[in-house]
Amino acid sequence: MNSAIVTEKLSRSFRWTHALRELDLSVEQGAIYAMVGPNGAGKTTLIKTLMNIVPPSSGRAEVMGRNSRQLRGASFAEIGYVSENQLMPERMLLRDFVDYLRPFYPCWDRQLEHSLMKQFNLPLDRRIRHLSRGMRMKAALASSLAYHPRLIVLDEPFSGLDPLVRDELIAALLERAPEATIFISSHDLAEIESFASHIGYLDGGRLRFSEDINNLSGRFREVELTFDQPPTIPANLPASWMQLNAAGAVVRFVESQFNDERTTAEIRNALGDFKESSFNPMSLRAIFLAMARTKAQGATA
């Protein structure tokens, strides 16, 4: 399958700060790809580099088959870009702003425009400076969807929004999903989990993993084991076990490469026979908390 976004050894530095470090990424066309990670992970820098707002320090990126450094003018007629800090002409009426944008996009769909304005209940006769944050985000998204972009790029679109507005934005995105690739950065893991098809985890400028969200959910389990008596915990445990905690005859840990048969065999080999066991699926938030805590423990070890 062709890729909507590809990066090869993509790096970006700001003096002594390495925002992106040799990033290799591929986003399939038609995917709803979520890039998540802690504050300062490099998510916004990645998006700005993809959109040719900042140049890479080294490496390269392709967006819709074009080198990102060549994105300009007509290239954005097929890319919808919305940022949490979207700059808009505050003195303009929203109606005049939409009228101003329309001629720049050959595929602008007036019927879709009217549908989105109605769906978002946007006040067209109000000046942009008088719109709430939620209204601004809905206006930015509506004006980025009205021309049927093949790629929709969203940088933290849900930040600071109430649940109703988030639901409205997600509903509009899902309606466009059959005709576009969606690339979104977000801290809102619960919302992302409800609709993303693929996910990447960016931390310290490095891409820690990138995969189908169902595969990610399938390989993580919270494991709880009960033994007849407290087991001896060996020094060398499987690398895929995270945050092991033993309390008497009960042992708990997170398995990051779960396979029923292999995991059970590894448990018996490391800890001996157990009396009871449970292997519980984890939410996206629980997965990332486990990863973050494991990293923090490693840093202080």
Report, in angstroms and rounded to the nearest whole number, the Rg of the chain calculated over CA atoms.
Answer: 23
Residue 287 in domain: no
Q: Which three-class secondary structure state does DSSP give residue 178? A: helix
Q: Average pLDDT for residues 248-252, to the nearest whole number?
A: 96
Output DSSP code: residue 93: B
Q: How many whole angstroms separate alpha carbon 131 and alpha carbon 129?
A: 6
Q: Is the pLDDT of residue 137 over 80?
A: yes
Question: HSE on the CB side for 110, CA within 13 Å?
Answer: 2
Regarding whether 148 and 38 lie in a shared domain, the answer is: yes
Domain that holds residue 105: 3-216
Q: Which of 50-54, 160-164, 186-190, 242-246 has the lowest mean pLDDT?
A: 186-190
Task: Residue 51: give its domain's CATH number.
Answer: 3.40.50.300
Question: What does the buried/exposed string (b/e) look like for 25-47 if buried means 16 or more CB atoms within 10 Å of the residue's CB?
Answer: bbbeebbbbbbbbeeebbbbbbb
Instruction: Note the pLDDT of residue 155.
Output: 93
- Three-state DSSP class for 301? coil
Q: Which residues contact 166 (CB under 8 A, 6 or more apart)?
A: 158, 188, 191
Are 76 and 14 members of one domain?
Answer: yes
d(CA 287, CA 217): 8
Q: Is the pLDDT of residue 27 over 50?
A: yes
pLDDT tens column, 184-229: 998 778 778 889 999 999 988 999 889 999 999 999 999 999 999 9
Last-in-domain residue among 169, 186, 216:
216
Same domain for 124 and 145? yes
- pLDDT at res. 59: 96
Chain CA centroid to CA 244, Å: 28
> Looking at the structure, do residues 86 and 177 belong to the same domain, yes or no?
yes
The predicted-structure confidence for 60-70, as pLDDT tens digits, reads as follows 999 999 999 99
Predicted confidence (pLDDT) at residue 183 exceeds the cutoff of 70: yes
Cα separation, 220 vs 294, in Å, equals 14
Residues 212 and 233 in one domain: no
pLDDT at 1: 55
Backbone angle region of 236, left / alpha / beta, with phi > 0 → left and psi within -120 to 50 → alpha: beta
> Do 118 and 265 sit in the same domain of this protein?
no
pTM of the entire structure? 0.89
157 shares a domain with 141: yes
Fill in the amino acid letter for 292.
A
Based on the fold, state whether residues 208 and 243 are members of the same structural domain: no
Residue 88 has pLDDT above 80, yes or no: yes
- Count up the domains in the chain and report the number: 2
Question: Whole-number mean pLDDT of the chain?
Answer: 92
